[in-house]
Structure formats: structure tokens, C-alpha cells
Chains A and B, each alone.
Chain A
């Protein structure tokens, strides 16, 4: 009678251990395989490309939305008048490493307007973020 009473809890305990093992494994997988990046304000569908210059850790990232608006941090600005705001935005981010995440469907004109403004502000080279294409 005593043995019968003791058996059920032990069996429960034993079936729990593989579950915990699997959960731990999943946890470690996500810890190692994933990269944590701050979420962008707007969803941008990146253009596909084949080349990779392997530029990493860009402190200043500008977004160009599909409708052509440029996001500096948390505010959208028309690319035609972006110059002054760029100067202020890049003052504390640095001019050396500027990344542009442009939507694949964004007008090339908006991207070029932004790049012209960057040149006027003193940025010689930008990094366009792309996705590995087919």
C-alpha cells in the first residue's frame, strides 16, 4: 500500500525531465542562432542583391519607405528637405558609418536625393542594406 502511494509522484517527476531538457535546448538554440536587433519603425522590404561588402555595426541607419519618405530615427521627413535634419541626426552618430535601408519598391529618386543630401553634409560613402537574392 505504501509503495503504491509513492509511485505516482516519482513517475511524474521522471516524465518532466525530458521536457525540461528540450526546452533548455530550444532556449540555447535561440540564444546562439538569433541576433538581437532593435526593431525598425516601419517595415521595409529590402532589395535583393548578390554582393556583400560585410559592413557591420552601423551606428546610423536611415530608412527609406516604399512611398519615398526618409526616416531619421523616429520621424519621417521628405527627402527634398532632409539636409538640415541629417546634419543634426548625424552630429551624434558620426559620419563614417551610415547605412541606408531602402524599400525595394521605393523610388530610386528618393534614395538618390537622400544620398545627395548625405554628400552635402559630408558623408562620402553609404552602405545600402540588401537581402541575399536568388
Chain B
């Protein structure tokens, strides 16, 4: 006679707990993001492109408006960019890589060019935008 009400009360106290746990679960499932991002530090460009050095210690990467890339005027495929820049640098320690972005080029190409320049061992990476690159 006395056993039954006690057991029923135990069962009832469990259901709200499960509800709350489910709610929390759904909340965390919806709000968490599993996207792993990386970061790439870049020095902001000088206001006018004429401040960029143009002597022999510079390798230029051109981002053309049609999406192609050129290293010192020679067309290069995206996957060979690092090797091409490395060949241009030639093992010297004081080289600057300048990235010129023609209007129409995309951010992905820009990021790839910065990474290629850094992986090739450039001392400085300069960036500038130009309306039209005239070889």
C-alpha cells in the first residue's frame, strides 16, 4: 500500500531532467561549429604602389584578371607557384616578393600567392593593386 506512491514519484522526477538534457543537447548541437580555421598574417600595403622596391632583389607575382598567375612575366600554374617563386629567389636571403593584383583577380589567388611567397623563403612580401598589368 505505501510502496506504490513512492515509486511513482521517483519516475515523475526523472522526466523533466531528460527534457532539460535533451534541450541542452539540441542547443549545443545547433550552436557549435566544428570548422577549423587558420590564420595568415599579412603586412598591410603602403598607400601608393610607387613605394614598392623595383630593383633586382624583387620577384613579382602577377595575379591576372582572368585568374591566371605569372611570376616575373612567365605564366605559371597555381600548383607550381611555390617552385617558380623559389626559382626566382634562387636561395638568396634578402629577396622581396611583390604581389600585384589586377582588377578581376580573386581573393583565393591572392592568398595562394602570399603563401607561395612565404613558403619560397621571401624576406618581405609586398602587395599592391593595379588596374591593368602591362608587361
Contacts and interface: CB of A to CB of B under 8 A. Distances in A.
Q: Are A and B physically bound partners? A: yes
Contacts, number: 163
Contacts of A23: 18, 21-22, 25
B134 interface: no
A126 B107 CA distance: 15
B2 interface: no
B37 A51 contact: no
Contacts of A20: 17-18, 21
Most chain A CB inside 10 Å of its own CB: which residue of B8, B39, B107 = B107
Interface in A34-71: 34-37, 46-56, 58, 64
B34 A33 contact: yes
Interface residues of B, number: 48
What bracket does the count of chain A residues touching chain B fall in? Answer: 35 or more
B91 interface: no
Interface in B92-106: 101, 103-106
Contacts of B24: 27
A130 B103 contact: no
Contacts of A106: 106-107
Contacts of B108: 47-48, 104-105
A16 interface: yes
Contact of A51 (B21, B46, B118): B118
Contacts of B8: 9
Given A13-B14, A52-B40, A107-B106, 14 more contacts: A35-B33, A47-B108, A51-B118, A51-B119, A55-B39, A55-B41, A107-B105, A109-B129, A116-B129, A123-B44, A126-B42, A129-B40, A130-B38, A130-B111
Interface of B: 7-8, 11, 14, 17-18, 21-22, 24-25, 28-29, 31-47, 63, 101, 103-112, 114-115, 118-119, 127-129
